[in-house]
Amino acid sequence: MRGMHISPDDPLLMKIVDDLAEHGWSQQDVFLPEALTRELALECRKRAAEGDLAPAAVGRGPAQEVREGIRGDHIQWLEAGQAEPCDRYLEVMDQLRLALNRGLFLGLEDFESHFAFYPPGAFYRRHVDRFRDDDKRMVSAVIYLNDPSWQPEDGGQLRMFLKDGNELDVQPTGGSLVLFLSGDMPHEVLPARRDRLSLTGWFRRRGNEPFEL
């Protein structure tokens, strides 16, 4: 992304919309500017050093629990006004939300996001991002904050299980974006040999009232 002043009609956002419509996912190797990626990575590391990131849980509501055999990342949810780089990131993602609504009529109302810090060896087993009793999450978005020197042998790939039976491994290169339909794309995070940093978020619609299965 060339600059931070972007509109929902930007060609890059339009390409993401087209990818999502055609394939159910989109990968952009260059999305955030290098300077903003670096500032967000520093913010993530700062929060980790200060103990602000907590072990991520699985499940929802009363059933939520930390299970390191399923996922080993540490997270902190973003709130507007906490840090200037985070606010700039949220502004970009809101323009992407508007572009998705214009192009795909998804009725996306908001965006929730958290830092995700995977220490060496941490992983996240295969899963989907939509809860069984809550259909608000429509589109998942992951932006990587890793050092530009990241190599495939460093691990940490996002492995997506495509509908045609193939697997796609996304390298967690700093500044890149991967986007996919939350309820339709099983995926996992492979173990990394280095600290793995990202911003993970979900575009959400109003959704139906929770129901029992």
Give the per-residue SS3 of the chain: CCCCCCCCCCHHHHHHHHHHHHHCEEEECCCCCHHHHHHHHHHHHHHHHCCCCEECCECCHHHCECCCCCECCEEEECCCCCCHHHHHHHHHHHHHHHHHHHHHCCCEEEEEEEEEEECCCCCEEEECCCECCECCEEEEEEEECCCCCCCHHHECCEEEECCCCCEEEECCCCCCEEEEECCCCCEEECCECCCEEEEEEEEEECCCCCCCC
- Grade residue 6 by pLDDT with cuts at 50, 70 and 90: confident
pLDDT at 53 over 90: yes
Between CA 33 and CA 78 the distance in angstroms is 20
Q: Averaged over 189-195, what is the pLDDT?
A: 95
Which domains does the chain show, CATH number per domain? 16-57+66-168+175-205 (2.60.120.620)
Q: Determine the pLDDT at residue 209.
A: 46
Question: pTM for the whole thing?
Answer: 0.88
Between CA 156 and CA 208 the distance in angstroms is 34
Q: Averaged over 156-163, what is the pLDDT?
A: 96
Closest among 66, 49, 45 to 57, alpha carbons compared: 66
Of the two residues 7 and 82, the one the predictor is more confident about is 82
Q: Determine the pLDDT at residue 60.
A: 54
Q: Determine the pLDDT at residue 9.
A: 82
pLDDT at 211 over 50: no
